[in-house]
């Protein structure tokens, strides 16, 4: 039977990406993207908005590109798959985190520039992932 695990999000990065490295030397970058949904309340005719925050992770060359060109406020498109990992917290309770494992990104620009030296790319930057890494083999240190 056919199945599909695909996620596509377009939004703003909520904090500067956090860079890590596996024991084998593979770069990992963890970041979060916020998306918003707007609608008009049919009872009050008032505009409403709800934001969602998506945890994302990228590996290898894609992680390098993100760590170099992305920071808080950057607008970007992320395409990948959903994956949930689990770990035991210090109290011994199981915790879970669902993430978008980025396979391709398009960096669209900044919401606000950090400095004049760190301006947005002139054109969208795309980066497909080519590294074959199993996220379950990586210790994120929960």
pLDDT in tens, 86-109: 999 999 999 999 999 999 999 997
Whole-number Å distance between alpha carbons of 110 and 75: 6
Which structural domains are found in the chain, ordered by start?
7-39+47-130 (2.40.50.140)
pLDDT in tens, 105-139: 999 976 544 444 444 444 444 554 444 444 555 55
pTM for this entry: 0.72
Select from 87, 134, 72, 127 the least CA-distant residue to 105: 127
């Amino acid at each position: 039977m056919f199945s599909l695990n695909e996620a596509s999000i377009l939004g703003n990065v909520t904090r500067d990406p956090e860079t890590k490295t596996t024991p084998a030397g593979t770069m990992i970058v963890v970041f979060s993207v916020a998306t918003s949904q707007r609608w008009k309340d049919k009872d009050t005719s008032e505009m409403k908005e709800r934001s969602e925050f998506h945890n994302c992770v990228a590996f290898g060359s894609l992680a390098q590109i993100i760590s170099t060109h992305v920071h808080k406020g950057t607008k970007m498109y992320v395409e990948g798959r959903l994956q949930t990992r689990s770990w035991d917290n210090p109290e011994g309770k199981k915790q879970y985190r669902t993430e978008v494992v980025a396979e391709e990104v398009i960096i669209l620009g900044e919401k606000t520039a950090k400095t004049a030296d760190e301006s947005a790319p002139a054109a969208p930057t795309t980066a497909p992932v080519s590294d074959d890494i199993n996220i379950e083999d990586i210790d994120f240190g929960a």
